[in-house]
Structure 1
Amino acid sequence: MYTTTNPLSQPKTLFPKEWVGVGSINPVWTDQAIEELQYGMIVSAINDLRDGRKSKLMQREAKNWIREDDYIHPLSFCNCCMSLGLDEERLRQLISHLIKGGL
């Protein structure tokens, strides 16, 4: 499971040596890289909802992604949570308390 000390930390910066395989026909994804992507997607969606400077469309897309009970698409909110060992319903409740108007 991917853990960090600050749940709203900044996204990881990629350096040139880490771009090996990016853009190739068969890029290699490590479990850690996938978990970092999933974690980053959740943090990004939360930040989009909390940031009043984001467009209404971005906020609506983030809200819809979080609310959808999708277990089919590999990068859905539910699958990201499951992969990271997070309870998606509990996380939805916490996010709802963070933002005005709830989810």
Structure 2
Amino acid sequence: MPYEYGGTTSDGFDCSGFILTAYQEGLGKQLPRTTSQMLASGDVVHPGEIKPGDVVFFRIGGKEQHAGIYMGGDRFIHASTSVGVTQSSISGYYWKGRLTQARRFD
């Protein structure tokens, strides 16, 4: 699925739109629409306690502006501007050192 800024459908997602849709369709949960709204809600998860399904946030360009869903085993799924919805390694070349926090939405 391609990346589309502000997108919330299979025609194209941005990172928060993908998370919003995945939680709504997969779990029947309603999450806030934007990354900044997600950062202001949910329960803070400490780095050693991140579990599959938690939302992970990354600092890019000096601010927390990217997010994905942790899958376990150092992997997360997200909507990337370059390749659309994809899996990446948290410790991979681009993402290493950019993870800033995680939130749990129960």
Asked if Structure 1 and Structure 2 have the same fold, meaning a TM-score greater than 0.5 normalized by the shorter chain, the answer is no
Q: TM-score, normalised by structure 2?
A: 0.30
Higher relative contact order (CA 8 A, sep 6+): 2
Structure exhibiting the larger radius of gyration computed from Cα positions: 1
More strand by share: 2
